[in-house]
Amino acid sequence: MDLKEQFKMITNIKNSRDLKYKPLSENYLLHFINNLLMTRSNFNTLELNQTKYKVSGTYLMYSIVNNKLNFCYVGESRNIISRFKQHVNGFKTSKERFYSKLRTKVNDIEDISFLILDQIDDQNERLIKETYYIYSTKSKFYSLNTKLVNRKMKCPKGHGMVKSFLNYEKNIEKLKLVIYGKCTNKKCKETFVIK
């Protein structure tokens, strides 16, 4: 299979609702999350109440029960632990669409885990990294993220409103995906790599 066909297969796995892609999507995400678990701080809902420190950065909220993935969600915050606690309270009490959907994926709050992906103080750097992880975990079956890019993210020159797209490096033997951001400012239009 050439690079173009491999890229098409990956975009189908990430974007299609065709059930034939569901096992591939789940296997990829389980592998991705398990690799992150080896090097990142992980919390369950019971541990959150005992955690007092403040950290800003990107995070992953997910549920794996009996080696089956229920969902994943990527976010960013100035205070990740506080945000985790907001998600727990939202799961229990909120009527917001996100939490209603979350309750359809998981019955028990104790089945949800939280992972600190990266500690980043600068908001724009957090938003860029959040976009990277949203693309990395994108799945029509498992991801609860509805947008790929936060509207607050800026291009490297400081302009607002960035669009994003997935592509691949063409002059190599093995497929390497690349996430690009493109500034929507008419005078800038800069394209940059999101990593």
For the entire predicted model, the pTM comes to 0.92
Count the domains in the chain.
1
Which pLDDT score, from 0 to 100, does residue 46 have?
77
The pLDDT tens digits of the residues spanning 158-172 come to: 987 889 999 999 888
Buried b (16+ CB within 10 A) or exposed e, 119-151: ebeebbbbbbbbbbbbbbbbbebbbbbeebbbe
Taking the CA atoms of residue 29, residue 71, residue 33 and residue 63 in that order, the dihedral angle to the nearest 10 degrees is -140
Which pLDDT score, from 0 to 100, does residue 45 have?
80
Kindly state whether residue 172 falls inside one of the protein's structural domains.
no
Q: How far apart are alpha carbons 181 and 195 in whole angstroms? A: 10
Enter the tokens of residue 112: 């949800």
- Structural domain including 88 reads 3-146
Kindly state whether residue 158 falls inside one of the protein's structural domains.
no
Which pLDDT score, from 0 to 100, does residue 35 have?
95
Which pLDDT score, from 0 to 100, does residue 161 have?
80
User: Taking a C-beta distance cutoff of 8 angstroms, is the pair 48, 85 a contact?
Assistant: yes
113-119 and 41-44 beta bridge pairing: antiparallel
Could you tell me the sign of the dihedral formed by the alpha carbons of 12, 15, 21, 27, in that order? positive
Q: How far apart are alpha carbons 61 and 115 in whole angstroms? A: 6
Q: Quote the DSSP letter at residue 140.
A: T
Q: Which helix (H) or strand (E) holds 85?
A: helix 80-93
Kindly state whether residue 179 falls inside one of the protein's structural domains.
no
Kindly state whether residue 112 falls inside one of the protein's structural domains.
yes
Q: Give the residue among 131, 118, 108 at the shortest CA–CA distance from 46.
A: 108
152 phi, psi to nearest 5 deg: -80, -10
Enter the tokens of residue 50: 């005992």
Q: How far apart are alpha carbons 86 and 67 in whole angstroms? A: 26
**100 falls in which pLDDT band (50, 70, 90)?**
very high
Kindly state whether residue 175 falls inside one of the protein's structural domains.
no
The pLDDT tens digits of the residues spanning 19-75 come to: 999 999 999 999 999 999 999 988 888 777 777 778 999 999 999 999 999 999 999
**106 falls in which pLDDT band (50, 70, 90)?**
very high
Q: How far apart are alpha carbons 151 and 82 in whole angstroms? A: 22
38: number of Cβ within 10 Å = 6
Kindly state whether residue 121 falls inside one of the protein's structural domains.
yes
**95 falls in which pLDDT band (50, 70, 90)?**
very high
Kindly state whether residue 163 falls inside one of the protein's structural domains.
no
Kindly state whether residue 169 falls inside one of the protein's structural domains.
no
